[in-house]
Structure 1
Amino acid sequence: MPGLSAELVQQLYRTPPDRFVAARDAAVADARRAGDPTTARQLARLRRPTVAAWLVNLLAIRRPELVADLVQLADALRVAQRELRGPRLRELSAQRRAVVGALVAEVRKLAAAEPDAPSANRLPLAEVEETLNAAFSDVEVAEQVRAGRLLRAASYAGFGEVPRPQLRLVTGDEEEREAERPARRPGPQRGRPEAAPRPDRAAERAEQAAQRAARVERARQRRALDRELAKAQADQERAEAELTEATGQERDGAAVLDGLEAELAELERRRAVAEQDLSRAKLARRAAERAVTVARRRAGEVEAAVEALAAEEGNADAGGGAAD
């Protein structure tokens, strides 16, 4: 947008969705105070992204080199699909699964580093994964992902572009049968001898035979492409089934991990409480030990005083008896 810095836009789309509107309105107010109504209007037109779109934008802003790799691979995959290159298509499809899986893992890490991000078990990673897959089939989605301006998750409906050859549909092998059928020669007309074909007529028949042969060859190529396409689609279905299973396993694993982390946090809390109780018990024991020491000392002093008093009384009694 003219007059609107890319840094400010990135800062806004890096902001979690629940704080986006407040941050955008504050930026609008700053632009108006600075006497820049054009920028203020452009900022006011920015819309809040969904959580899934925010995560994809965060990936594009924080790790643009990874998103650039995704876009480059998407371009190569679309070329292979248009050319129906089976081995290359399978290779790129395997790379696509690996890249999308790595990017989803990176999104989880980036979200964990954001202080106001939702908890790990509430992240819409399935929508993130679907959006990244959609970038492989839709150039516009790929460009939005790379720009970090996505507003909502995109849907992935298929295996990308699957151009089909512009061939006329035939049933069975009618074109081959037509090419193999011997050309009919007109029979002799009654009352007239059969005339030899003219040279221009022979050339026309040769051209027609060549055209039939070309149609047969195109039909053969079409069937070969159909077989290759069917195999590619079967590989796609198998790969998508594996992806679905792996995604489910990842979600289950994340749920187990979240549960263990919650249990660990509870154990840590209980440990801290136990350590505090133990510390208080140690202090109480030491205070009791000091009290026992003081009491024992005092008891010893009192016992000594009693013994001294008894000795004095004994001495006094002995002295009185001697005087008598």
Structure 2
Amino acid sequence: MDLDEIADRLYGLDVSDFIAAREAEARAAKQAGRGDLARQVAALRKPTVAAWAVNQLSRGHPDELAELLELGEELRAAWAAQDADALAELTARRARLSQRLVRLAPSSGAEVEQTLDAATVDADAADQVRQGRLARPLSYSGFAPAPAPRSRPARKPSEEEARARADREAKEQAEATAAYEEWREALAQAVQERDERAVKVATLEKKLAKARKKLAEADQRAEVARREEAHARARLKR
């Protein structure tokens, strides 16, 4: 039993099962005398919905994901060579593959697509996505996946360009809304988890208070019995 094996199991679970399973794994490691492993397991972070969705892609659709990540290697090579034609073709293929994977994911959203895009332009991000143990979605702010356009004189955008810009802004707004909804869901889950634990703590405290009361009553009965036994013993010696 090692950390990699445990992490693979945990990050393959449904988000709602992660906390309980993590605690069980940490407890098992501790009982086995593996205190360091227990602490490492306990430190594993519960994945967000977007991270969990990408983790499920690595398990449920490894071939499709591998195709996207291999394309990312080609894309990075084309960027290094500044091959504009290859970049144009690869960027279009990436968009199609990424959208296909987003549709296959158990939960879609801007952060799922953002994580897949990061995996195509950054080798470290690709390795993380391939492992399927993300706790948070990924993003990348490095090079753009296409050569920078040459500067040209400013001109008034055509009607088609204006519509395209409006569509892009609408898409960005929709992605921002989706990201907000996803984090709002994550917050709701965290609050629910906290409330459930608070109820458990209150229940345990109530049981502990009753147990202490019963212990005090037992102590009192024992003291009475002790005094009576001593009195009876004294009378017996007379």
Tell me if TM exceeds 0.5.
yes
Q: Aligned partners of 1:243 and 1:95: how far apart in 2? A: 23
Q: Aligned partners of 2:169 and 2:76: how far apart in 1? A: 20
Structure with higher RCO (Cα < 8 A, 6+ apart):
2
Q: Secondary structure at the match of 1:155?
A: coil
Partner of 2:72: 74
Q: Secondary structure at the match of 1:230?
A: coil
Deviations 1:61-84 (CA, angstroms, capped at 9, x unpaired): 222222222221111101101211
Partner of 1:12: 10
Q: Aligned partners of 2:79 and 2:130: how far apart in 1? A: 22
Partner of 2:104: 106
* Residue pairs, 1:1-324, within 5 angstroms: 4=2, 6-107=4-105, 111=106, 123-157=107-141, 160=144, 229-230=148-149
8 Å CA contact retained: 1:51, 1:124: no
8 Å CA contact retained: 2:119, 2:125: yes
The one-letter amino acid of 2:18's match is: F
8 Å CA contact retained: 2:57, 2:104: yes
Deviations 1:259-290 (CA, angstroms, capped at 9, x unpaired): xxxxxxxxxxxxxxxxxxxxxxxxxxxxxxxx
Q: Secondary structure at the match of 1:49?
A: coil
Change (3 A) 1:244 1:71: farther
8 Å CA contact retained: 2:3, 2:40: no
Q: Aligned partners of 1:134 and 1:158: how far apart in 2? A: 9
Q: What TM-score do the two structures reach when normalised by structure 2? A: 0.58
8 Å CA contact retained: 1:4, 1:39: yes
Q: Aligned partners of 1:26 and 1:48: how far apart in 2? A: 14
Q: Secondary structure at the match of 2:66?
A: helix
Deviations 1:201-259 (CA, angstroms, capped at 9, x unpaired): xxxxxxxxxxxxxxxxxxxxxxxxxxx7417xxxxxx8xx77975996xx9xxxxxxxx
Q: What TM-score do the two structures reach when normalised by structure 1? A: 0.44
Change (3 A) 1:38 1:246: closer
8 Å CA contact retained: 1:14, 1:61: yes
5+ residue gaps in structure 2?
151-163, 178-238
5+ residue gaps in structure 1?
112-122, 163-227, 232-237, 252-324
8 Å CA contact retained: 1:136, 1:160: no
The one-letter amino acid of 1:74's match is: G
Shift of 1:157: 3.9
CA RMSD after TM alignment: 3.3
The one-letter amino acid of 2:133's match is: R
Q: Aligned partners of 1:61 and 1:25: how far apart in 2? A: 23
Identity of aligned residues (%): 38
Change (3 A) 1:127 1:12: same
8 Å CA contact retained: 1:75, 1:136: yes
Q: Secondary structure at the match of 1:69?
A: helix
Change (3 A) 1:242 1:84: farther
The one-letter amino acid of 2:77's match is: V
Shift of 1:159: 5.7
